[in-house]
Structure 1
């Protein structure tokens, strides 16, 4: 496994739209493993999109304390309610902001073996799904911030 360099805010790749993965193979699984290692190597990392390590593929890893989730081609298929959240980003250390996200989302994706999965997230997990899927479309949380916040 390997630790990859996280692209910082201002890197033009963060604004690019990621391309769908056609085949989930060993190469894709290696990227997902490296992304997980990279996320775990950071402080406060709950999710990471492939674009954040310079790869324009629709890949995401998430661990919000309930175990590692590896997602290929994730998409939101339903969103409900509204919650005000505070978000940060591994590409923007020490920057936090308040914004609104759905309170509950349902997503469809492939797992690391190419099998379709449907997941639901509420609260922080819904926030994380939305944040990471936004990355795949070149959207940063700072685009949605209503007020910047300080975290102590």
Structure 2
């Protein structure tokens, strides 16, 4: 029955997103500790999970269309779960569908929040790295503008903490 398969696919999507949520929470700590090896492992795990989520999302769309056809609707519209629930008349089935939709929605919003925090942490890390490199190597003293080759001087060197001529 398409409705049961749809609920099953939504539950699987929720489970995959819960795993992604746990990875995102642990990634926060890894980014703060600057543990690059663990970060690479996490990114590989996330990549595999995202491929599985993509497959489940395709299955969800197929089952949704199948449910529409079963209800006599010959449309290829990408309806939301709430809109599909309007086509379910059995209160128990409707409740199951809306319940799994609510859980998935909550998981996705929590994942979105943690990913936003992780993105800010990574951006701050990159700013710090850029700042650290500028301290070590220095910024160019001269703007990048055109200058006649005869007028060029050696001012383009980047003075820093290290003597590059040593």
Q: Could you say which structure has the larger radius of gyration?
A: 2
Q: Same fold (TM over 0.5)?
A: no
TM-score for the superposition, normalised by structure 1: 0.24
Identify the structure with the greater helix proportion. Answer: 2
Taking CA–CA contacts closer than 8 Å with sequence separation of 6 or more, which of the two structures ends up with the larger relative contact order? 2
TM-score for the superposition, normalised by structure 2: 0.22
Identify the structure with the greater strand proportion. Answer: 1
